[in-house]
Amino acid sequence: MAKHHVTTTINGDPVEFLCEPEQTLLDVLRDELGLTGSKEGCASGDCGACSVMVDDRLVCSCLVLGVEVDESTVETIEGMADGDKLHPLQQKFLEEAALQCGICTPGFLIAARALLVKNPDPTETEVRYWLAGNLCRCTGYDKIIRSVLDVASEMKRA
């Protein structure tokens, strides 16, 4: 099948790639562009490990065809830290040990950042419902939820 030429911006950098129609955005990120921070848990939109931002919208990159991000802006976990300086959510996840195996972590971080942009002062219930599309099978959710709430309250004080 003919490959498609896609022009996009990923983590602030202009990126062009060729992809097959049946490659998802997640396939492209991981297999063509070497951005392996986004993970494949289920490939059916259930687990959120592949969460990325497309044109400022939080989506599952496993449910988006690579072709369909032509002329879009994509943000992945690789762009979350500012050089060596971790994003406050990344830092807090470390401090609170809000991860064990880490597979779900990039998705949780991207989703949590999207929440705080939209709603800087969420209730615990709002955090839990917002993160309903991200599954963790080992850490449990309490430390993750607490980390997000802590960052929100620190941001409010700052």
Partner 1 sequence: MHPFTLDRPRDLAAALALRAQAGRNDAPAEYIAGGTDMVQLLQEYVRQPERLVSLAGLLDNRIEIGPQGLRLGVAATMAEVAADPAVVEQFPLISEALLNSASPQVRNQATMGGNLLQRTRCPYFRDVGYAACNKRAPGSGCAAIGGENRWHAVLGTSDDCIATNPSDLAVALVALDAAVEIRGAGGSRSLPLVDFHRLPAATPHIETVLEPGEVIAAITVPASSAARRSHYLKVRDRASFEFAVVSAAVALEMDGARIRQARIALGGVGTKPWRVPRVEAALAGASLEPQSLRQAAALAAENAHGRGHNDFKIELMQRAIVRAVEIAGARA
- Tokens for 76, please give them: 């992945």
For residue 20, the minimal CB distance to partner 1 (Å) is 7
For partner 1, which is the closer residue by CB, 1 or 158? 1
For residue 83, the minimal CB distance to partner 1 (Å) is 28
For partner 1, which is the closer residue by CB, 54 or 86? 54
For residue 88, the minimal CB distance to partner 1 (Å) is 20
For partner 1, which is the closer residue by CB, 57 or 157? 57
Q: Strand, helix or coil at 24?
A: strand
Q: Footprint of partner 1 on this chain (CB under 8 A)?
A: 1-2, 4, 20-22, 24, 43-46, 48, 51, 57-60, 62-65, 67-68, 70, 111, 114-115, 128-130, 132-134
For residue 25, the minimal CB distance to partner 1 (Å) is 10
Contact (CB, 8 A) for 137 and 78: no
For partner 1, which is the closer residue by CB, 128 or 146? 128
Q: Cite the beta strand spans of 46-122 per DSSP E.
A: 51-54, 57-60, 73-75
For partner 1, which is the closer residue by CB, 34 or 44? 44
Contact (CB, 8 A) for 124 and 61: no
Look up residue 29 and give its amino acid: L
C-beta atoms surrounding 81 within 10 Å: 13
- Tokens for 22, please give them: 């049946």
In angstroms, how far apart are the furthest CA atoms of the chain? Answer: 54
For residue 142, the minimal CB distance to partner 1 (Å) is 16
Look up residue 92 and give its amino acid: K
